[in-house]
Amino acid sequence: MLIGAAYALLFVYIVWTVSRSKDGNAGLILLLMLIFSGLTIAASVYHSWTNDFQAQGRYLFPILGMLGICLESVRRYLNPGIVLGIVASCFALAVYSFVFTALWQIPKGY
């Protein structure tokens, strides 16, 4: 749940910065990224729902490429310290989740 909040914070910061920049190209790139990310999520949900509801996160990986292109195009408007702090917190929360949730679920009898 916390990692979702950290990603939401990154998204809000990018939208807030782009909306203040008054650059039409950056706004258009952000809008296209949001539209195609939404379509990717919709396709993933539809595919998971029709195939015995087997949720597959790997179908969401193209969003990372879209986010990278969007971040590169609006990079001049973003404060690197804020973005680095948010990304570092996302990474730290992901590592914490893996170590203290996933690894603890492995049977200890092996």
Say which DSSP state 55 is in. -
Specify if 64 maps to a domain. yes
Low-confidence ranges of the chain (pLDDT < 70): 1, 52, 109-110
Residue 31: what pLDDT?
Answer: 92
Domain, as residue range, for 93: 2-105
- CA 107 from centre of chain: 31
Residue 21: what pLDDT?
Answer: 85
Judge whether 79 and 60 are in contact, CB under 8 Å: no
Q: How many domains, in total, are found in the chain?
A: 1
Of 58, 78, 65, 76, nearest in space to 32 by CA: 65
What is the spatial distance between Cα 32 and Cα 9, in angstroms, rounded to a whole number?
A: 20
Specify if 57 maps to a domain. yes
